[in-house]
Amino acid sequence: MKRAQKPGSLSCRLFCSLREAAQQRSQPPRTPGVRAGKPRPAKPRPRQSPARKQVCPRPAAVRRALRFRLRPRGAARAQSAAPSPPMAGNVQAPAPVGARLQQDRKARSGWQGGARVWEETEQQAKKLKSSGDEDGEQHRKLPKRKIVLLMAYSGKGYHGMQRNVGSSQFKTIEDDLVSALVRSGCIPENHGEDMRKMSFQRCARTDKGVSAAGQVVSLKVWLIDDILEKINSHLPSHIRILGLKRVTGGFNSKNKCDARTYFYMLPTFAFAHKDRDVQDETYRLTAETLQSVNRLLACYKGTHNFHNFTSQKGPREPSAQRYILDMYCEEPFVREGMEFAVIKVKGQSFMTHQIRKMVGLVVAIVKGYAPESVLARSWGEAKVDVPKAPGLGLVLERVHFEKYNQRFGNDGLHEPLDWAQEEAEVAAFKEQHIYPAIVSTERHERSMAQWLSTLPVHDFSATAHAAAKVPSPLEGSEGDGDSD
């Protein structure tokens, strides 16, 4: 039986020391300052979401400057000025200690100057950028809205209303209008070259020699201050913008127009009988003749096939059907010793030359050159020779937007397009520019008298294929021109 060793005996102490030595030989050497035992596993770092990543709100140039400023003074300059390590075959002696201290001082002073230069350059760049973009920003900040303009113009000397893009030979009303819009700062210059960019649309396309007292165009412009005064300052005196109103974004002046009213001003000797002198300026219209004229004009009311009143439609084309709401002749008046009368016609739309031929056929019947039966025959499929009156006295007086006014006129956001407040200016423009131009041109050129002399050549009993073509004294002078 083995004897138990006493805890404090020599043999017990020797056994404990040998066991500790064996344990030390079996374990790896311990590093000073590190606790012995099982190594603690590395704690994984939480992955930061890209959405939570903090980004400095300052610009990139400012962030670079701040990082550069956080370095020790002279570190950047000293690092750039430090000599590169010597290469084989190109051994250079190190710079003296005094030279390195001097370079360090220059580096510290250079950083402060560089910071000042950087700040001044940045401020100058911002000033140049702000001054360069000042004009563009001013227009970009202005609202661009859809509006309508009420126009009045005298068509004498112009080849109609519609602009002929790429052709500067024939001057039109829209040429002067677009030029005034660009020069006044209402639209960019490229919008003047391509009118579709400003959603430009005219209500009626008046042609050569035709005037207007109530033309309406729709477009998008910058709503600058005193817009009407600035546009009119760049327009001639016989073209005026009389009114401006805001409309809905999808407004189209041609498609939203319900009806158009024209008037035709002519000397009353046009209604004198054919046995009377066609140039008798002393002629005065009697009440019986005026009543006969109104009776014939009332026959146009309603829907008829007006293919004989234009050169663009066939007898079976649906678009040749046009609806006339009203047509009548007003009481005559005297201007410069010559008596004139005004024939007014209101319809949904008109074709090219339609109004001029409607007036011409009534004049031919009243003077005795054509029977009244030709009026009803002209609405049939057979071609009828219908004379075309001169385009001098034709004027677009008003355009109507009844349906638009019923829907948007009282919604609290838009104004009704009735132009009641501008009626005084419209009447003043007609008295100042339209009526005097018609009277003076008729007295000097005598276009109506020349046209009346061609009526005997027409054969109203035959078709247009058998009738001789009679040249008009104003050939090429277009009339109403609301063609589709």
Assign 16 a pLDDT band (cuts: 50, 70, 90): confident
* pLDDT digit string, tens, across residues 169-190: 788 999 999 999 999 999 888 8
Does pLDDT of 22 surpass 70?
yes
Could you give the CA distance from residue 341 to residue 105 in angstroms, rounded to a whole number? 100
Tokens 């303009």 sit on residue: 149
Answer for the pair 274, 369: CB distance below 8 angstroms, yes or no: yes
Range from 21-35, 146-160, 257-271, 384-398 carrying the lowest mean pLDDT? 21-35
Could you give the CA distance from residue 306 to residue 357 in angstroms, rounded to a whole number? 10
- Is residue 207 part of the annotated active site? The answer reads yes
Q: Find out whether 404 is annotated in a ligand binding site.
A: no
Q: How many CB atoms lie within 10 A of CB 198?
A: 21
Does pLDDT of 146 surpass 90?
yes
Backbone angles phi, psi at 150, to 5 degrees: -90, 115
Mean pLDDT of 156-169: 81
Residue type at position 138: Q
- Of the candidates 429, 423, 426, 404, the residue with the CA atom closest to the CA atom of residue 415: 404
Mean pLDDT of 440-465: 85
Could you give the CA distance from residue 450 to residue 390 in angstroms, rounded to a whole number? 9
* pLDDT digit string, tens, across residues 383-421: 999 999 999 999 999 999 999 999 998 888 888 998 999
Which of the residues 175, 207, 385, 482 is marked catalytic? 207
Assign 117 a pLDDT band (cuts: 50, 70, 90): very low
Range from 6-10, 79-83, 430-434 carrying the lowest mean pLDDT? 79-83
In this structure, the strands spanning 211-222 and 259-267 are: unpaired
* pLDDT digit string, tens, across residues 129-145: 444 444 454 555 577 88
- Of the candidates 446, 483, 477, the residue with the CA atom closest to the CA atom of residue 207: 477
Could you give the CA distance from residue 472 to residue 450 in angstroms, rounded to a whole number? 9
